[in-house]
Amino acid sequence: VQLQASGGGVVQAGGSLRLSCAASGDIFRINAMGWYRQAPGEQRELVATVPIAGSANYADSVKGRFTISRDNAKNTVYLQMNSLKPEDTAVYYCNAEVRTTAWNTRPYSYWGQGTQVTVSS
């Protein structure tokens, strides 16, 4: 299973970016999908996750500004980021909890390669 993230870049404070992450390979079903970020010198932290069905979960720091969504037919997760702040600057990683077969109900966690988001003040 491979996750390919795209959409990062440089934007001024107050601007917007949209990240995409497509999963491919031996996929039976994807449970949760999500975005995490890691700033220099910091630990990786959760940004937002979305289950296969149900409500999304957001970090308090991005609530009301970021929106996560997924297209199950395309095995793709998106992160719409609005009202960006300099403190949102980080490498953003997508994650997917994937079941590769119908008979193995235990999902495995896969990570994308990371995409840089830089917000200038």
**Predicted confidence band at 121 (pLDDT cuts at 50, 70, 90)?**
very high
**pLDDT digit string, tens, across residues 34-78:** 999 999 999 999 999 999 988 999 999 999 999 999 999 999 999
Three-state DSSP state, 86:
helix
pLDDT of 94 strictly over 90: yes
Any idea of the CA torsion for 119, 12, 116, 62, to the nearest 10 degrees? 60
For residue 59, what pLDDT is reported?
A: 98
Number of H helices, E strands in the chain: 0, 11
Structure tokens at 8: 């990062």
The total of other beta-carbon atoms located within 10 Å of residue 91's CB is 18
